[in-house]
Amino acid sequence: MATIEDFKKIDVRVGRVKRVTPFPEGKFSTHVLEIDFGEEIGIKKSLARLTPHYGDDLVGKLVLGVVNFPSRQIGPHQSETLTLGVPDEEGNVVLLHPERDVPIGGRMY
């Protein structure tokens, strides 16, 4: 069972999507996101499975991402953050996001 101390080790921050690039050759990921997590963290790249719910319309939107996991090589890309989502009734990703406009870089607690 995880403890509160385990939970505190995971750094989840609010970021704003700056760019969305299709990644059609990805087995599980469909797009490359560039997400701005603010001055302290900067811009990080994330590979995510966005279809069928998202595409270019995600630019400018807020998302939540884990920023302290090690980078992971996915095909020709380095994924630097894990963008958080949950499955819909068909197993497609629905991204987690704040319900209000909040400053980027804010840490989840």
What pLDDT is stored for residue 28 in this prediction? 79
3-class state of residue 91 by DSSP: coil
Are 41 and 80 a contacting pair, CB within 8 Å? no
Q: What is the CATH number of the domain that holds 66?
A: 2.40.50.140
Tell me if 103 is assigned to some domain.
Answer: no
Q: Decide if 107 is inside a domain.
A: no
CA–CA distance, 50 with 29 (Å, rounded to integer): 8
Sorted by sequence, the CB contacts under 8 Å of residue 90 that are 6+ apart come out as none
Structure tokens at 58: 């995600």
Q: What is the pLDDT of residue 24?
A: 83
In a domain, 47, yes or no: yes
Per-10-residue mean pLDDT of the chain, 109 residues long, equals 95 98 85 97 95 93 98 94 97 96 96
| Residue span of the structural domain in which 13 resides | 4-95
Residue 67's nearest CA partner among 39, 45, 89, 50 is 45
- Element at 72 (helix H, strand E): strand 72-74
What pLDDT does 27 receive?
80
Residue-wise pLDDT for 1-17, tens only, equals 999 999 999 999 999 99
Q: How many domains does the chain have?
A: 1
